[in-house]
Chain A
Amino acid sequence: MKKTGAEILWECLVREGVEVVFGLPGGAIMPVYDAMLNYPIHHVLVRHEQGAAHMADGYARASGKVGVALATSGPGATNLVTGIVTANMDSVPIVCITGQVHSHLIGGDAFQETDVTGITLPVTKHNFLVTRADQVAQVVREAFYIARSGRPGPVLIDICKDAQTEQASFEYPQEPALLGYQPPLHAPPADLKKAVALIEEAQRPVILAGHGVLMSDSMQALQMFAVKTQTPVAMTLLGLGAFPASHPLSLGMMGMHGEAYANLAIQNADLLLAFGMRFDDRVTGNLRTYAPRARKIHIEIDPSEVHKNVKVDAPLVGDLKTVLTDMMPMLDEYDHDEWLSQIKRWEAESEERDILSWPDDGKLYTAHVVRDLWRATGGDAIIATGVGQHQMWAAQYYKFDQPYRLITSGGAGTMGFGLPSAIGAWFANREREVWIVDGDGSFQMTQAELSTAVQEKANIKIAIMNNHFLGMVRQWQEFFFESRYAGTPLAGPDFVRLAEAHGIPARRVTQPEDVLQAIQFAHDTLGPVLIDFQVEKEEAVYPMVPSGADLDAMIRRPIRRTRAVTQA
């Protein structure tokens, strides 16, 4: 049957199970938009294409499916780039579809022509330029396959306008036709044996669980492994939720703003088991002094990550779930009681320093707000964040027992990610409560998407931790630049009135005792709600490993001698 390239595109998207696309129309993508009306796929109109990419990203992170963003040529496509970089750094499967000028105009600097495949080449897993309608079906098939298989990532399809309008016969390909690309599955048995021998010898093992655990759906395998071998589990920022925070073997988050006892455990370990993580500088600190006594096992699907930052003793290249399943029967049960009780002692000391253990001084701290939010939502909300101090506090104080709940930009550290990614996450999971924990700086970067939330009646709850600073940079200035606050004091709008101008109910909270009531108000109100929390202006995230310092050389919060009365 003959169809236009635009129709073929939608036929393919329907077959890939796409329910929603996020985009903004323009000249070069108009035939695709026109054909869209005949297909059962919901379109979300964004206010800026960066939002479209972040929404697709949030949708993918919350659902495990591929998110789709749509944009026109030129500036429409270049506005996607920050969102593509964000997805690429965090290995999130999205497919971005952009319009391109007529194929015969390419290279002639036509109106809104940009070399989009050239621009996105280094920041996508793969990209395609489609110049004929008969290429569309094969390309879409391959794009989705590439995006979600192996180490997932963003794929971009740039479709010329004439390829959208001309006709071709349509048949959806059963298989992608890729000669080389074939992600590894099993690790070789010899490598498995070597790793098992290291596990048998270990006295002080620690598992490092990363985003790969979530991407490969290995949560159960990880838990079985940890319990059987009695190995504590520290998580990267993106790994939060991979292992229940409330589990006795959980060490919480590691790294720059990780739990001090998690970092101490890593530095004193004799074996690290890195599962689907890539030893980013934010989790290792100084590489020369990183886990100096530990041998290392690295289970990783991307061979280019092996030995990249940290030289490992036993690399296992393969799919994490498959490798763990293969390894499980080879393992005995172990106990590491002495090691675990050592960690417990470190943990107790950390608790003393925790701001939640401080006496109530009447001030509003983000830590308290997040703790209250965690309790009020039963720990089961989806939490989307921007980037900065509020992000770290959300990671520290919202205790994630479930996977796919934290939607945050890790590798790229993209401010403005919160609001659009939350809208995307809501489309992936409309029954679950979706909260955005954002900073006033981050929020202002993409606040135009408030209109999108209203137009879509997205049931998202926005909590702005408003400290009138670009807080994380301010903290670095306080610690490392003699408190010279260059470019960090931040005037914002009246967020309550801004929300109300959008027709969004809003509240301002200045007192700790009003926090729970405001959360309840947001919970009880259908549709978007905004709460402006006026938090302490010059509070710092602790502990902190200064950039490039040894992982156990943390700046700690000073201990306050008077302990708070434990709150109910």
Chain B
Amino acid sequence: MQSTLIALVENKPGVLNRVASLFRRRNFNIESLNVGRTERADISRMTIVIDSESGAARKAEVNLYRLVNVIDVQDVTNQPAVTRDLALIKVKATPEQRAEVANLAEIFRAKIVDVASESVIVEITGTEDKIESLLELLRPMGIQEMVRTGQVAMMRGTACGVRYAPGANGHHPAKDRL
């Protein structure tokens, strides 16, 4: 099973290293970790997907609060959240095979973003499942290269993810202070 966490952290040098180091020394297995800017210059946002047995998400959350730079952590696993992953897939395709790839891409609402003589690059955005399904279909043609951003997630509307340790940050859901 996998758990997806959203962590808001201070946008300072070395914070990614601190998070990665924490996960290593507490023995969490990171499936994917995405970091990027947010609507605020001083805050970065991480979407962390971990391999989890029972309780691992809670354990990850309370451990993240040991890091001084961590502002807020939510578990959005199985919550009403939008989750997306972006993949670029370079598929072997002779000019005769291009139509087939284009066809598949069309069905998945993916795009062909580069065409070379012997290959094309397909760009797909979606949930993990959707990308996995497309990959399954493209694999027989020969996948030459692939890159994925890892999951990003956002709760729908005003909903919040699960906070296991609401007391961790002085009982003020960090959101109120931002």
Contacts and interface: CB of A to CB of B under 8 A. Distances in A.
A292 interface: no
Given A117-B14, A121-B18, A126-B68, A180 B63 contact: no
B167 A180 contact: no
Nearest to B165: A303
Q: Which label, helix, strand, loop or mixed, suits the secondary structure of the A interface?
A: loop
B68 A125 contact: yes
Contacts of B9: 180
B99 to A, nearest CB: 51
Interface in B19-56: 21-22, 25, 42-43, 55
Given A122-B25, A126-B68, A303-B65, A179 B10 contact: yes
B68 A180 contact: yes
A187 B18 CA distance: 28
A302 interface: yes
A308 B165 CA distance: 13
A313 to B, nearest CB: 16
Contacts of A181: 68-69, 169
B21 A122 contact: yes
Contact of B171 (A122, A180, A188): A188
B116 interface: no
A309 B98 CA distance: 57
A8 to B, nearest CB: 20
Interface string A246-257: 000000000000
A316 to B, nearest CB: 9
A180 B10 CA distance: 8
A194 B14 CA distance: 41
A463 interface: no
A178 B68 contact: yes
B140 interface: no
B89 interface: no
Interface string A163-190: 0000000000000001111111111100
A404 B8 CA distance: 38
Contacts of A303: 62, 65, 165, 167-168
A317 B68 contact: no
Most buried by B among A117, A125, A302, A303: A303
A394 interface: no
Nearest to A123: B25
Interface string A203-227: 0000000000000000000000000
Contact of B17 (A121, A125, A185): A121
A179 B43 contact: yes
B62 A318 contact: no
B110 interface: no
B75 interface: no
Nearest to B10: A179
Interface string B160-173: 00000111111110
Interface residues of B, number: 36
Q: How large is the interface on A (under 10, 10 to 19, 20 to 34, 35 or more residues)?
A: 20 to 34
A304 interface: yes
A304 B62 contact: yes
Contacts of B159: none
A306 interface: yes
B65 to A, nearest CB: 6
A187 B42 CA distance: 30
A146 B67 CA distance: 11
Nearest to B70: A180
Interface in B70-107: 70-72
Given A180-B174, A184-B170, A304 B43 contact: no
Contact of B167 (A121, A125, A307, A318): A318
A317 B63 CA distance: 14
B68 A146 contact: yes
A304 B66 contact: yes
B172 A121 contact: no
A114 to B, nearest CB: 16
Nearest to B171: A184
Contacts of A317: 165, 167-168
Contact of B65 (A129, A304, A307): A304
Nearest to B11: A179
B77 to A, nearest CB: 18
Contacts of A146: 68
B14 A180 contact: no
Contacts of B71: 179-180
Interface string A110-122: 0000000110011
B82 to A, nearest CB: 24
Contact of B172 (A178, A182, A187, A304): A182
Contact of B170 (A129, A185, A308): A185
Nearest to A186: B171
Interface string A303-341: 110111000000001100000000000000000000000
Contacts of B177: 179
Contacts of A179: 10, 42-43, 71, 177-178
Contacts of B18: 121
B44 to A, nearest CB: 11
* Among all A-B residue pairs, the 10 with the closest Cβ atoms: A180-B71, A182-B170, A317-B167, A303-B165, A304-B62, A303-B62, A126-B68, A184-B167, A181-B68, A303-B168
Given A182-B172, A303-B167, 6 more contacts: A122-B21, A179-B71, A180-B169, A185-B171, A188-B167, A307-B55
6 contacts: A122-B22, A125-B68, A179-B42, A184-B170, A304-B62, A304-B63
Interface of A: 117-118, 121-122, 125-126, 129, 146, 178-188, 302-304, 306-308, 317-318
